[in-house]
Amino acid sequence: MTSTLEGQSAPAAPPVRPVREVRVAIIGSGFAGLGMAIALRRRGETDFVVLERAHDVGGTWRDNTYPGAACDVQSNLYSFSFAPNPDWGRSYSEQPEIQAYLQDVTDRFGVRDHCLFGAAVSTARWDDAARRWLVRTSAGEFRAQVLVSAAGALADPAHPNIPGLDTFAGTVMHSARWNASHDLSGERVAVIGTGASAVQLVPAIQPIVDTVTVYQRTPAWVVPRTDRPVPPLVRRLYRFVPGMQKAIRGALYLLREFLVIGMAKRRRFLTPVGRLARAHLHRQVRDPKLRRALTPDYTIGCKRILISNDWFPAISAPNAELVTAGIAEVRPGSIVTTDGVERPTDTIVLATGFHVTDLPIAEKICGRDGRTLADVWSAGMVSNRSATVAGFPNLFLLVGPNVGVGHTSMVYMIESQVAYVDDALRTMDAEGLEVLETTPEAQAAYRDLIAKKSEGTVWLAGGCASWYLDKHGHNTTLWPDFTFRFRKLTRKLDRENYVGTPAGSADEEVAA
Ligand code: N01
């Protein structure tokens, strides 16, 4: 304690935490952040930190704990290629198993000691004079030569702007911020949204609630889910014949790539998938009125294709209701739709998705001229190779613009991106570069490539509105081609598209 003039004690100032110097700061510890950290460890780099705002690793798989949360890509494919898990309990794993897998790889590859939990990034600014990123977090400040943003696209829940929602007297929770201590048994529950999260959580809660009312704005195409437990014999085979699990992974990968032909090249190849979805709906929903309400009017694949065997039975149950009228307002104890019907409600579940085309992390990262990524991206997200942005030296984005996929494992794309960043770091080491920055020309060329590849795809021309497109109607989220083409494009750093500044030089820059 220090003394004041009046002789009273003043509270001691909080200790000043020194700024920590690191070579690489990674934001986020989901699949992408962990994948990057593991790659660094595997090549002997130890001078890095993983800044995680929560208190555990896992990203979206840590946060999405709603009942029924599971992956809609088979686990043999939705896992790191270098860390196969012979013990998956089901072909499509549920959230707790995926989260346990991520915790396991964190320990197995020695990156837990590099994770700083409770470190929410408030700003990251490029200091051009020092050639370092200054990263402010709730757990102290860091000066990093390289910043890798792996904050994720499904990280920040989107809350709908519905009149009166803030006046609701009952419980409101987003699917990505589930409150497990709130017991839904016997309640009248409203679920807003019919995306991938809603079709998983509605069947899980329908048997225990009094009523579940689902507010649907746009119906989704749904295909059957071929999920089953993995028999112990198969698990033993995976363990002792790893090549077998690898072969299955390869087969799953190829099968899923076929969908790209229909989605991005020749639309007619989607016809059988559309038939499958229609047949699934007809088999599972007998009531013609309900069936009509659940039938989309856009081409399958335009929005994410959902997979479920229990969504249609759940919404057909006697205690379930599908409401297609828009929501006019929320009152303290009810929801009123535009047709004037008021439905008493105890709990509202917002299954309304995430901020994907307006990533909140973009507001926190300031580049060379002091503008944020969000400013630079105000007309739409742009990048070179989905990884770097002109004016943001030594910044690498994982799961940023145009890396999303609607048909296969995001982990495949993440591994491609990690290899690219890894090669960039190697190049910096090999050439003695302190700074690496992509050119505006490379960025414009990549934007044009994406625009050209996106022309005529189901995402642009399929007749739907989806979170794949930004507010200008541009595809800034999806990779619009085969994923092996993305891998080829990002296998090595395209050095010719970067300007490098050697360590120790004044301002001299070295083009490729
Ligand atoms: O979110 P979504 P999600 N009033 O954005 C509706 C991944 N994921 O959490 O279609 C009324 O898809 C909106 O309606 P519309 C996966 O990549 C993966 O379900 O815009 N409704 C839509 O129905 C997925 O794509 C798994 O007309 C409103 C829903 O809310 C992504 O996460 C599991 C509304 C939002 O659907 C997001 O899925 C779960 C409003 N104001 C999620 N605002 C796996 O299995 C929005 N909606 C891997």
What pLDDT, on a 0 to 100 scale, did the predictor assign at position 4? Answer: 39
What pLDDT, on a 0 to 100 scale, did the predictor assign at position 9? Answer: 57
End-to-end Cα, the chain, rounded Å: 58
Superfamily designation of domain 165-229+259-350: FAD/NAD(P)-binding domain (3.50.50.60)
Segment (H or E) for 121: strand 121-127
Question: 326 C-alpha vs ligand 1 centroid, how far in Å?
Answer: 16
Say if 20-156+355-502 and 165-229+259-350 have the same CATH topology. Answer: yes
296-354 confidence digits (pLDDT tens) = 999 999 999 999 999 999 999 999 999 999 999 999 999 999 999 999 999 999 999 99
Question: 80 C-alpha vs ligand 1 centroid, how far in Å?
Answer: 25
List, in order, residues 6 or more apart from 487 with CB less than 8 Å away: 412, 416, 419
What pLDDT, on a 0 to 100 scale, did the predictor assign at position 7? Answer: 44
Residue with the smallest CA separation from ligand 1 atom 21 is 193
Q: Is 330 in the pocket of ligand 1 (CB under 6 A)?
A: no
Segment (H or E) for 215: strand 211-215
Q: Determine contact, residues 173/182, Cβ cutoff 8 Å.
A: yes
Q: Which residue has the higher pLDDT, 357 or 115?
A: 115
177-203 confidence digits (pLDDT tens) = 999 999 999 999 999 999 999 999 999
What pLDDT, on a 0 to 100 scale, did the predictor assign at position 5? Answer: 41
261-295 confidence digits (pLDDT tens) = 999 999 999 999 999 999 999 999 999 999 999 99
- The domain limits of the chain are 20-156+355-502, 165-229+259-350
Residue with the smallest CA separation from ligand 1 atom 36 is 195
3-state class of 97 per DSSP?
helix
Give Cα separations from 199 to 215, 233, 352, 413 (angstroms): 12, 32, 12, 25
pLDDT above 70 coverage of the chain, percent = 96
3-state class of 345 per DSSP?
coil
> Does the domain at residues 20-156+355-502 carry the CATH identifier 3.50.50.60?
yes
Q: Which of 66, 352, 466 has most ligand 1 atoms within 8 Å of CB, for mutation? A: 352
Q: Is 60 in the pocket of ligand 1 (CB under 6 A)?
A: no
What pLDDT, on a 0 to 100 scale, did the predictor assign at position 14? Answer: 64
pLDDT, averaged across the chain: 95
To the question of pTM greater than 0.85 for the whole model, the response is yes
What pLDDT, on a 0 to 100 scale, did the predictor assign at position 507? Answer: 59
Using CA atoms, how far apart are residues 297 and 316, in angstroms rounded to an integer?
Answer: 20
Q: Is 190 in the pocket of ligand 1 (CB under 6 A)?
A: no
Atom of ligand 1 nearest to the CA of 353: 1
Q: Is 201 in the pocket of ligand 1 (CB under 6 A)?
A: no
Q: Is 154 in the pocket of ligand 1 (CB under 6 A)?
A: yes
Q: Which of 197, 225, 309, 324 has most ligand 1 atoms within 8 Å of CB, for mutation? A: 197
Question: 390 C-alpha vs ligand 1 centroid, how far in Å?
Answer: 31
Question: 97 C-alpha vs ligand 1 centroid, how far in Å?
Answer: 22
DSSP 38-69: HHHHHTT---EEEEESSSSS-THHHH---TT-
